[in-house]
Amino acid sequence: QSVLTQPPSASGTPGQRVTISCSGSSSNIGTNTVNWYQQLPGTAPKLLIYSNNQRPSGVPDRFSGSKSGTSASLAISGLQSEDEADYYCAAWDDSLNGWVFGGGTKLTVL
């Protein structure tokens, strides 16, 4: 049972826009920023979004993040086949005094 809640799966067709949600509480997302990670099959995770909505250099602007209250979202526009991966949200939790992740969302490009 993960502290942050994500849908286990999402899907879309090439060119579509998909959104992945991440729900938390006042001790994590409600007071701290959210990061998003992409994990392609068999590889290490990669930072996709930090501080709720900032993209590291090299990450396409098709990826965007937002946060409102105790929830956050990752949006992927212009979906491509190479976007098929697992996506994780993460935030610091003040109550647990540690980082917490969502359970991950498996994105399928149909």
Partner 1 sequence: EVQLVESGGGLVQPGGSLRLSCAASGFTFSSYWMHWVRQAPGKGLVWVSRINSDGSSTSYADSVKGRFTISRDNAKNTLYLQMNSLRAEDTAVYYCARANSGWTDWGQGTLVTVSS
The distance of Cα 74 from the centroid of its chain, to the nearest Å, equals 5
User: In what side-by-side order are the strands of the sheet with 71-76?
Assistant: 18-23, 71-76, 63-68
Q: Does 75 bind partner 1 (CB under 8 A)?
A: no
The distance of Cα 90 from the centroid of its chain, to the nearest Å, equals 8
Which part of the chain contacts partner 1 (CB under 8 A), choosing from 9-17, 23-31, 71-79, 85-93? 85-93
C-beta closer to partner 1: residue 25 or 35: 35
Q: Give the gyration radius of the chain's Cα atoms.
A: 13
Which part of the chain contacts partner 1 (CB under 8 A), choosing from 13-21, 24-32, 73-81, 83-91? 83-91
Binding site for partner 1 (CB under 8 A): 2, 35, 37, 39, 44-47, 49-51, 54, 56, 86, 88, 90, 96-104
